[in-house]
Structure 1
Amino acid sequence: MRSADSNVVEAEKPTIAHFLPWDGIGGVEIATLRIIEATRDQFRHVAFCKPTALELKDACEKAGVVVVSYVPPEPSVRHALRYFKQSLTVAREMRRLGVNLAHCSETKATYHNSLAAFLARVPMITHVRSRYPEIGLRDRLGFLGVAGYVFVSQDSRRQFALRIPDAKARVLYDAVDITEPQEASVSKALRKELGVAEGATLIGMIARVNPQKDYATLANAAALVLTHRTDVQFLVVGDNSVVEMNREHYRHVHQRLVDLGIGDRFIFTGFRSDVPRIVSALDLFVLCTHREGLPLSILEAMALGKTVIATSVDGIPEVITDGVTGYLHGHEKSDELANAILKCIDHPELAKQIGDAAREHCRRTYNSQVFTANVAKIYREFLPS
Structure 2
Amino acid sequence: MRSMDSDVVGGAKPTIAHLLPWASIGGVEVATLRIIEATREQFRHVAFCMTNAVELKKACERAGAEVVSYDPPEPSLRHGLRYLRQSQAVAREMKRLGVNLAHCSETKATYHNRLAALLAGVPMITHVRSRYSQMSLRDRLGFLGVSGYVFVSQDSKRQFVLKVPDSKARVLYDAVDVTEPRDDAANKLLREQLGVPAGVTLVGMIARVNPQKDYPTLASAAAQVLAKRADVRFLVVGDNAVVEMNRVHYEAVNRRLIELGIADRFIFTGFRSDVAAIVSALDIFVLCTHREGLPLSILEAMALGKPVIATNVDGIPEVITNGVTGFLHAHQNSEELATAILTCVEHPEMAKRVGEAAREQCRTSYNSRVFTANVAKIYHEFLRS
TM-score, normalization by structure 2 = 0.97
Partner of 1:313: 313
Match of 2:372 in 1: 372
Is the 2:37–2:64 Cα contact (8 Å) retained in structure 1? no
Opposite residue 311 of structure 2, the aligned amino acid is T
Identify the residue that residue 177 of structure 2 maps to in structure 1: 177
Aligned positions of 1:80-229 closer than 5 A: 80-229=80-229
How far apart in 1 are the matches of 2:142 and 2:136? 10
Matched residue, 2:344: 344
State the distance in 2 between where 1:132 and 1:330 align.
Answer: 20
- Residue 302 of structure 1 corresponds to 302
The aligned residue for residue 252 of structure 1 is 252
- Equivalent residue, structure 1, for 2:22: 22
The 1:194–1:352 alpha-carbon spacing in structure 2 relative to 1, beyond 3 Å, is same
> Deviation of residue 62 (structure 1)?
2.3
Shift of the alpha carbon at 1:63? 2.3
Q: Distance in 2 between matches of 1:10 and 1:109?
A: 31
Equivalent residue number for residue 231 of structure 1: 231
Measured after TM superposition, the shift of residue 307 of structure 1 is: 0.1
Post-superposition Cα deviations, 1:95-144, rounded to whole Å, max 9, x if no partner, equal 11000000000000000111111111110000000000011000111100
- Tell me if structure 2 keeps the 8 A contact 1:309–1:326: yes
Cα deviation, residue 64, structure 1: 2.8
Q: Which amino acid aligns with 1:284?
A: I
1:75 aligned partner: 75
- Is it true that 1:324 corresponds to 2:324 in the alignment? yes
- Secondary structure of the corresponding residue to residue 12 of structure 1: coil
Q: In 1, distance between residues paired with 2:10 and 2:63? A: 15
- Name the amino acid aligned to 1:106: E
- 3-state SS in 2 of match to 1:16: strand
Once the 2 structures are TM-superposed, how far is the Cα of residue 10 of structure 1 from its aligned partner? 10
Kindly state the Cα deviation for residue 9 of structure 1 after the two structures are TM-superposed. 11
Count of residue pairs brought into register by the alignment: 378
Deviations 1:23-62 (A, max 9, x none): 1000000000000000000000000111111111121122
Contact 1:100 1:384 in 2 (8 A): no
Contact 2:60 2:66 in 1 (8 A): yes
Equivalences for residues 263-302 of structure 1 within 5 A: 263-302=263-302
- Alpha carbons 1:179, 1:304 under 8 Å: kept: yes
8 Å CA contact 1:20, 1:104 repeated in 2: yes
Q: CA deviation at 1:384?
A: 3.3
For the 8 Å contact 1:10–1:44, the answer to whether it is kept is no
Q: Tell me, which stretches of 5 or more residues in structure 1 are unaligned?
A: 1-7
Q: Quote the offset at 1:318 in angstroms.
A: 0.4
Residue pair 1:237, 1:271 contacting (<8 A) in 2 also: yes
Deviations 1:56-94 (Å, cap 9, x if unpaired)?
A: 112112223111111111111222222112111111110
* Equivalent in the alignment of 2:334: 334
C-alpha distance in 2 between matches for 1:186 and 1:39: 31
- Which residue of structure 2 aligns with residue 5 of structure 1? none
Distance 2:314 2:84 in 1: 36
Aligned-partner Cα distance in 1 for 2:142–2:45 = 23
Residue 39 of structure 1 aligns with which residue?
39
TM-score, reference length from structure 1: 0.97
In 2, Cα distance between equivalents of 1:376 and 1:164: 21
The answer to whether the Cα contact below 8 Å between 2:36 and 2:64 also exists between their aligned partners in 1 is no
Q: How far, CA to CA, are the matches of 2:306 and 2:266 in structure 1?
A: 20
For the 8 Å contact 1:15–1:101, the answer to whether it is kept is yes
Partner of 1:353: 353
Match of 1:3 in 2: none
CA distance in structure 1 between the aligned counterparts of 2:277 and 2:379, rounded to whole angstroms:
32
User: Identity of counterpart residues, as a percentage?
Assistant: 76
Q: Residue deviations 1:328-349, cap 9 Å, x none?
A: 0000000000001111111111
Measure the CA separation in 2 of the matches of 1:345 and 1:298.
19
Q: Check the 8 A contact 1:123/1:384 in 2, yes or no.
A: no
Change (3 A) 1:10 1:236: farther
What code does the residue aligned with 1:100 have? N
Q: Tell me, in whole angstroms, the C-alpha distance in 2 between the residues paired with 1:10 and 1:272.
A: 41
Aligned equivalent of 2:4: none
> Unaligned regions of 5+ residues in structure 2, if any?
1-7
AA paired with 1:79?
Answer: H
Whichever residue aligns with residue 338 of structure 1, its letter is A
CA distance in 1, matches of 2:87, 2:113: 7
Q: CA RMSD in A?
A: 1.3
